[in-house]
Amino acid sequence: MKVDILIIGGGASGISAAIKAHHQDLKILIVEREDFLGGILNQCIHNGFGVHLFKEELTGPEYARKLEKFLTEDVLIYKNTSVVKIEKENDVFTVSLSSEARGLEVINAKAVIMSSGAYERTRGQIRLPGKRLKGIMTAGSAQRYLNIDGYLVGKRVFILGSGDIGLIMARRMTLEGAKVLGVAELMPYSNGLNRNIAQCLEDFDIPLYLSHTVSQTYGDTSLEGLDISEVDSNYQVIKGSEKHFEVDTLLLSVGLIPEITIANNLGLKIDPFTRSASVNQNYLSSIDGLFFAGNALHIHDLVDYVSKESELAGERARMYVLNNFTKARNEKEILRNQLIRYTVPQVVDFDNLTHNFDISFRSKIKATLAVFRLKQDGVVIKEKRARHVIPAEMEKFTVGLEDLISTNELVIEMEILV
Amino acid sequence: MKLNNVKSLYDFLIVGSGIIGTNVARELSKYQVSILVVEKESDIVNGASIANSGIIHSGHDPLAETLKAKLCVEGNKLTHELSKELGFHLLKCGGIVLAFSEEEKLDLLKLYENAVTNKVPNVKLLGKKEVLRREPKVNNNVLLALDVSTTSVCSPWEMAIASMENAVLNGAKYLTNSEVTNIKYINEVYEVEINHKDIIKAKNVINAAGLNTEKIGLMLEESLDYHILPRKGEYFTLDPKNKGDFTCVLYPMPSKVGKGVLIVPQVHGETLIGPTGEDVKDNDNRVTASGLGLIVTEAIKISKHIQFYDNIRNFAGVRAKSSYDDFYIKESSKYLGFYHLAGIDSPGLTAAPAIAKYLVDMIKAKNILVKKDNYIKGRSYTPLFRYLSEEEKLEAIKADPKHGHIICKCENITEQDVINALNGVIPVDTVKAIKKRTRAGAGICQGGYCERHVLQLISEYKNKKMTEVDYYEENTPILLEDIKEPK
């Protein structure tokens, strides 16, 4: 089969991209490995989604169902289907799909949008000490077991990492009868939203141990206990500061990594900081026709932002297929000073600059008051002050075409005022 | 096999189903003898054999004239043959031993002599230029290297399971969750007590219990001329996306405590960095901050380009080093037909098929073993879907549509792959046993996606509730409570 745009992943990102990619003359296919659209939203049964996009507080499944309604019937959807290979030859993508219903099949596509989401960092990435025990798993896995499959993975639980999934799971496990003994966070501040600290921990008297990490795990086959220890300013364990907890479960909420394995063989230019493709303002990667969106591009704070960004990626994929872009690119890197961890997009293509665009970025460190400046040719073209800057919260500049004074590199700088 | 199906008297009872026990079972199954392998864990192959570098060493390193040297060189050759016969993967990547100082250069020349004496095929010295041409990511202060091209890498548990499946096809029996708790020698028959209650009788006992060989030996003997000195090795496992950074096994110069921290490309694309070498008590396979830190310090002496950031798993294995300077493969001097296979640390994996032959030759020197006429050479198994050719895939998916359902997206493992493993020659019913056979859960997300699919399939095909499916050992369910059921 031939399609114009193939969208990998039917979560918030893929649906949003499909909605805006839609055009009467274009054939669009969403490939989704699960039996339902909506991706990870389906297991997020708490509320707080949609405040920006729909101006109301929805649960994850409500957000997904509401978003799905914007999909028109001419968008093809393959559920229970996995992408097993992507190749590109002569401007056409050959995408191999696998499903129980249709077996192996090959789809040719003019453009591909990677909206494949992210996977959770595991114990391997944080060098968790101890044996290969049962009872240690990612918070998202526990959430899926609980909210979709209906099983509790632990009765006495400790959580490492104060990301939102960890905080949400602290409350959720408690409500289902588990005892959550605490949450440890390596950093001196939480990476989760303030409302989650209040509603998920404080309301249930669950202690949050900042500047702490798990320094030992105990048990022979199953987890039986663990120690947490305080860490110094270099995140090294301070000996003698151990606190012991007897638990059967340790949930890890220590970050997400864009899931782009399937595109690894294409020779993509990768940004080591986002661990995904380097893209221009049209969300186009170094490979022509291969777009990235949502958590597959970089990790977002809110699903609303995923939707908004993915809509743009969908729109630009549509423009690409309709030949609204030139093939030649004049890409200039967005430079940043050492206080900025990364930017998305990473480059600006001045040959295909048709719309105002957003630059999302994260600071490397916490600041009470900071100023961000966007410069071109040494001139400040945008400036904003921000209070309570933390790496966990994404910052943004919206760049108008009229703001630009040349086709030279943009530079983002952060200066700490307090 | 359930204990109540056990024969009254076996010719050979093998204690332990690691790489040694399984290879011995396979070698003996060529003869007209009855064989029982007893394993204390819930699945075969679960000790040192599943937590090591996976290297099939060339034999350059063991001191000349030792059993280790002889059996390593022989074992390397045999493993390459067996890989074809039994259909297990072998990465024929070769290896290089690197010298970074004038002192190491001199030692490397001695190592070269040792390799030649050990009759390692095709060893040669490589100059700096040649090393950097082959392995551009090696630090450029390398001075000289020893090329040991017969070095390969296997997936040790795949090899052990393949050997055991071949043995089972040829009539060998096995028992899991069966710990040997006592051994008595009564009227020229060994009475082996299992789990403190049942007795199994055997004419011969082969003690291949790895870390527990000394403990098992002392159940019978008053004293032993070896002690097991467990030594732990910790590892990093790097994301397969870095495949190609290092194309062969990179050894630093060996030191007194072992081969040092190596860079080892794996059969399935990961890169192992390790091991450490730390004396520990018993099976202390904990990874530690200090051990992992040491690996980083040591490994960057070989290459500054190791992507530790892409680590997907740390693990530690405990090898059964012994106080005896060599492999200890001997019949008891007092108890006829009781064989000790002790101190099988590195290069034990490589030597395993040769150790099995050596042992069987030892047995044949005193006993008459008659070859089977109907010995089956290979094994009956279905390869994982991912290893089939495109044509074979189409055929397989036609026959089994469940090959279309990818349940592990990191390793591209299909639902049918899992079903095949559940119902293999050695059936299994735990999450980790499935991981060992299919690699579901071994990829970058470490089971984050596939584990629930595996649980569901075990539940469905083994008629267990989801809350009854164990991670691995008995009583290790991943799901503790079904919240849909009324309390």
Low-confidence ranges of chain B (pLDDT < 50): none
Task: Spell out the alpha helix ranges (H) of B232-322.
Answer: 289-299
* Closest residue, chain A, to B415 (C-alpha): A100
Straight-line distance from the first to the last Cα atom of chain A, in angstroms, rounded to the nearest whole number: 58
For residue B479, being part of any structural domain is answered with no
Considering only the beta carbons, identify the residue of A104, A120, A151 that sits closest to B448: A120
Q: Which domain holds residue B140?
A: 91-151+229-319
Length of chain A: 418
Cα distances (angstroms) measured from residue B417 to each of A58, A62, B40, B391: 39, 36, 27, 17
Which residue, among B285, B260, B264, has the nearest Cα to B273 in the 3D structure? B264
Q: Is A127 on the interface with B (CB under 8 A)?
A: yes
Asked if residue B414 and residue B296 are part of one domain, the reply reads no
A228 vs A230: CA distance, rounded Å: 7
For residue B482, being part of any structural domain is answered with no
CA B383 to chain centre: 19
**How many domains are contained in chain B?**
3
Length of chain B: 487
For residue B397, being part of any structural domain is answered with yes
CB contact under 8 A, B481 and A144: no
Nearest CA-CA distance, residue A123 and chain B, Å: 7
The CA-based diameter of chain A, rounded to the nearest angstrom, is 68
Residues of B in contact with A127 (CB under 8 A): 287, 289, 292, 311, 314
Residues of A in contact with B466 (CB under 8 A): 149, 151
Asked if residue B311 and residue B235 are part of one domain, the reply reads yes
From B338, B366, B381, give the residue that closes a domain. Answer: B381
Q: Is B307 on the interface with A (CB under 8 A)?
A: no
Domain harbouring B405, CATH code: 1.10.10
Q: Is A219 on the interface with B (CB under 8 A)?
A: no
Straight-line distance from the first to the last Cα atom of chain B, in angstroms, rounded to the nearest whole number: 36
| Signed CA dihedral, A218, A221, A223, A229: sign only | positive
Asked if residue B156 and residue B70 are part of one domain, the reply reads yes
Asked if residue B395 and residue B274 are part of one domain, the reply reads no
Q: What share of chain A is helix, strand, coil (3-state, %, to 5)?
A: 25, 40, 40
Cα distances (angstroms) measured from residue A11 to each of A40, A68, B12, B38, B319: 7, 10, 58, 49, 46
pLDDT value, residue B237? 97
B315, B237 contact by CB (below 8 A): yes
How many degrees, rounded to 5, is the angle at CA A111 between CA A105 and CA A116? 70
Q: Is B449 on the interface with A (CB under 8 A)?
A: yes
- A382 contact partners, CB below 8 Å, separation of at least 6: A373, A374, A397, A399, A403
For residue B473, being part of any structural domain is answered with no
Count CB atoms within 10 A of the CB of residue A102: 14
How many Cβ pairs closer than 8 A exist between chain A and B? Answer: 130
Asked if residue B253 and residue B347 are part of one domain, the reply reads no
Active site residue B453: no
pLDDT value, residue B3? 63
CB contact under 8 A, A153 and B402: no
Cα distances (angstroms) measured from residue B67 to each of B64, B173, B327, B333: 9, 29, 6, 19
* Closest residue, chain B, to A215 (C-alpha): B289
CB contact under 8 A, B473 and A221: yes
Residues of B in contact with A257 (CB under 8 A): 444
CA B371 to chain centre: 27
Residue-wise pLDDT for A174-191, tens only, equals 999 999 999 999 999 888
pLDDT value, residue B401? 97
pLDDT (mean) for A237-247: 97
pLDDT value, residue B254? 85
Considering only the beta carbons, identify the residue of A129, A177, A257 that sits closest to B288: A129
Mind listing the domains of chain A with CATH numbers? 1-120+255-325 (3.50.50.60), 122-254 (3.50.50.60), 329-418 (2.60.40)
CA dihedral B150, B155, B159, B164 (to 10 degrees): 160
pLDDT value, residue B485? 84
Within 346-375 of A, beta carbons closer than 8 Å to B belong to none
Considering only the beta carbons, identify the residue of A124, A137, A222 that sits closest to B311: A124
CA dihedral B51, B53, B54, B57 (to 10 degrees): -140
Mutation choice for A interface testing from B405, B459, B473 by most A CBs within 10 A: B405
- Tokens found for residue A154: 């632990």
Q: Is B292 on the interface with A (CB under 8 A)?
A: yes
Residues of B in contact with A144 (CB under 8 A): 452
Asked if residue B239 and residue B208 are part of one domain, the reply reads no
* Closest residue, chain B, to A121 (C-alpha): B445
Asked if residue B187 and residue B139 are part of one domain, the reply reads no
Considering only the beta carbons, identify the residue of B241, B311, B451 that sits closest to A141: B451
Count CB atoms within 10 A of the CB of residue A378: 7
- B427 contact partners, CB below 8 Å, separation of at least 6: none
Q: Is A45 exposed, middle or buried (0-12, 13-18, 19+ CB in 10 A)?
A: middle
Asked if residue B348 and residue B203 are part of one domain, the reply reads yes
pLDDT value, residue A190? 87
- Tokens found for residue A324: 């609204």
Q: Is B101 on the interface with A (CB under 8 A)?
A: no
Cα distances (angstroms) measured from residue B482 to each of A308, B219, B465, B486: 38, 44, 9, 9
* Closest residue, chain B, to A146 (C-alpha): B483
**Which one of the listed residues B57, B60, B403, B453 is annotated catalytic?**
B57
Interior/surface letters A112-147, b for 16+ CB within 10 angstroms, e for the rest: bbbbbbbbbbbbbbbbbbbbbbbbbbbbbbbbbbbb
- Tokens found for residue A263: 């595109």
Nearest CA-CA distance, residue A392 and chain B, Å: 20
Residues of B in contact with A125 (CB under 8 A): 311-312
Cα distances (angstroms) measured from residue A44 to each of A192, A298, B319, B447: 15, 20, 44, 20
- Tokens found for residue A137: 């798993």
Residues of A in contact with B404 (CB under 8 A): 98-104
A84 vs B142: CA distance, rounded Å: 41
Amino acid at B466: M
B289 vs A128: CA distance, rounded Å: 8
pLDDT value, residue B2? 60
Report which DSSP code applies to B241.
Answer: G
For residue B67, being part of any structural domain is answered with yes
Domain harbouring B244, CATH code: 3.30.9.10
Residues of A in contact with B472 (CB under 8 A): 134, 221
Strands A81-89 and A92-99: antiparallel
User: How does DSSP assign A6-53, residue by residue?
Assistant: EEE--BHHHHHHHHHH--TT--EEEE-SSSSSBGGGGG--SEEE-TTT
Banded model confidence at residue A193, pLDDT cuts 50, 70, 90 = confident
CB contact under 8 A, A221 and B241: no
A187 vs B201: CA distance, rounded Å: 60
CB contact under 8 A, A151 and B471: no
For residue B485, being part of any structural domain is answered with no
B88 vs B158: CA distance, rounded Å: 6
Cα distances (angstroms) measured from residue A209 to each of A181, A212, A245: 11, 6, 13
A266 vs A287: CA distance, rounded Å: 8
Residue-wise pLDDT for B410-446, tens only, equals 999 999 999 999 999 999 999 999 999 999 999 999 9
From B337, B352, B381, give the residue that closes a domain. Answer: B381
Cα distances (angstroms) measured from residue B222 to each of B219, B233, B332: 8, 31, 11
Considering only the beta carbons, identify the residue of A84, A127, A140 that sits closest to B406: A84
Asked if residue B429 and residue B290 are part of one domain, the reply reads no
- Tokens found for residue B6: 């056990």
Question: What does pTM read for this prediction?
Answer: 0.95
- A28 contact partners, CB below 8 Å, separation of at least 6: A3, A4, A5, A6, A7, A18, A21, A22, A74, A75, A76
CA B101 to chain centre: 34
Asked if residue B423 and residue B285 are part of one domain, the reply reads no
* Closest residue, chain B, to A176 (C-alpha): B483
A215, A242 contact by CB (below 8 A): yes
φ/ψ region of A312 (left if φ > 0, alpha if ψ in -120 to 50, else beta) reads alpha
For residue B393, being part of any structural domain is answered with yes
B163 vs B349: CA distance, rounded Å: 13
Asked if residue B85 and residue B24 are part of one domain, the reply reads yes
A414 vs A384: CA distance, rounded Å: 10
Mutation choice for A interface testing from B41, B238, B287 by most A CBs within 10 A: B287
Asked if residue B58 and residue B180 are part of one domain, the reply reads yes
CB contact under 8 A, A153 and B478: yes
A215, A229 contact by CB (below 8 A): yes
A336 vs A345: CA distance, rounded Å: 12
Mutation choice for A interface testing from B232, B239, B281, B286 by most A CBs within 10 A: B286
A174, A206 contact by CB (below 8 A): yes
Banded model confidence at residue A255, pLDDT cuts 50, 70, 90 = very high
Nearest CA-CA distance, residue A266 and chain B, Å: 12
- A26 contact partners, CB below 8 Å, separation of at least 6: A4, A5, A318, A321, A322
Instruction: Give φ, ψ of A274 to 5 degrees.
Output: -90, -15
Q: Angle, nearest 10°, between helix axes B67-82 and B156-169?
A: 70
For residue B478, being part of any structural domain is answered with no
As a three-state string, the secondary structure of A376-414 is ECCEEEEEEEEEEECCCCCEEEEECHHHCCCCCCEEEEE
ipTM metric: 0.95
Q: Is B438 on the interface with A (CB under 8 A)?
A: no
- Is the pLDDT assigned to residue A170 strictly greater than 70? yes
Averaged pLDDT score across all residues of chain A: 96
Nearest CA-CA distance, residue A49 and chain B, Å: 24
Residues of A in contact with B285 (CB under 8 A): 131-132
From B361, B381, B401, give the residue that closes a domain. Answer: B381
